[in-house]
Amino acid sequence: MSSPSTSVMLSVVVFTTILMAASAENFYRDVEIFFGNEHANILNGGKLLTLSLDNDCGSGFQSKNSYLFGRFDMHIKLVPGNSAGTVATFYLSSLGPAHDEIDFEFLGNVSGQPYVIHTNIYSQGNGNREQQFYPCLMVDEKPIRVFNNNEAIGVPFPNSQAMKVYSSIWDAEDWATEGGRVKTDWTQAPFTASYKNFELKACVYSSGSSSCGSSESTNSITNTEAWQTQGLDADDREQLLWVQENCMIYNYCTDYARFPDGLPCECKQTTFQQ
């Protein structure tokens, strides 16, 4: 969730190692482990969190707070070496069958082959909006896709349900690597992903109201902060188009076989909206 009105922006924030200065939150204070406690560790005084996967269990954490709008940055070191069959995630989600969700899933591969960045967006329980990319960029802060607000033509948009921030690592060998052809090599376990520099610029949602609607807001952010009106400038748009032309390996908006009765209606709209 990036702003109250126009679009959701997904940016490349994770590769094998990310380099970007950030004032990090504290994992002890701001998150809780929601599965695989024995496979999760908070280290360095709350500045680093590791999640591990073996053939018994994966692991994951979630933010303690829920957020209605915001910018969420995380630096992740993905599983090194042979990571086939594994999935490391960073996503936002509300609860319930009609939930909203914004996904980054990093699909592992055999040694020497790139991860696949799998993105998806759910709004009011409707997903099936996958786009996949190879990580062909070497710096972060690069947008890779935009999901515009097309409520005017009947497309639900994730702008009304508060979400928590989640990260996890789990086994998906039945589909993650080359459609499930390459299985997880459990002799390489445990598989470990590392998380640091968790930075929040967001509206905390509690007891039916958002902190951005009051005089207080997360990390002393006020309603005039730039992140709340952030959009794509000309350079961002050029970078986005370059990534989609050179790095995209799957786009639901071109999968006519999957949608024989017609592509989703948002696919017929322009990429950029004012």
Catalytic residue list: 101, 105
Please, which residues have CB within 8 angstroms of residue 188's CB and are 6 or more apart in sequence? Answer: 81, 82
CA 106 – CA 87 distance, rounded (Å): 5
Instruction: Count CA atoms within 13 Å of residue 29 on its CB side.
Output: 9
Among 197, 161, 199, CA closest to 66? 161
H-run or E-run covering 189: none
For 207-245, where are the E strands, in sequence order?
Answer: 209-210
Residue 120's nearest CA partner among 98, 139, 93 is 93
| Cα–Cα distance, 246 to 178 (Å, whole number) | 20
> Cα angle vertex 231, ends 229, 236, to 5°?
155
For residue 96, what are its two tokens? 């319930």
Coil, strand or helix at 8:
strand
User: In terms of Cα–Cα distance, which of 164, 139, 153 is closest to 12?
Assistant: 139
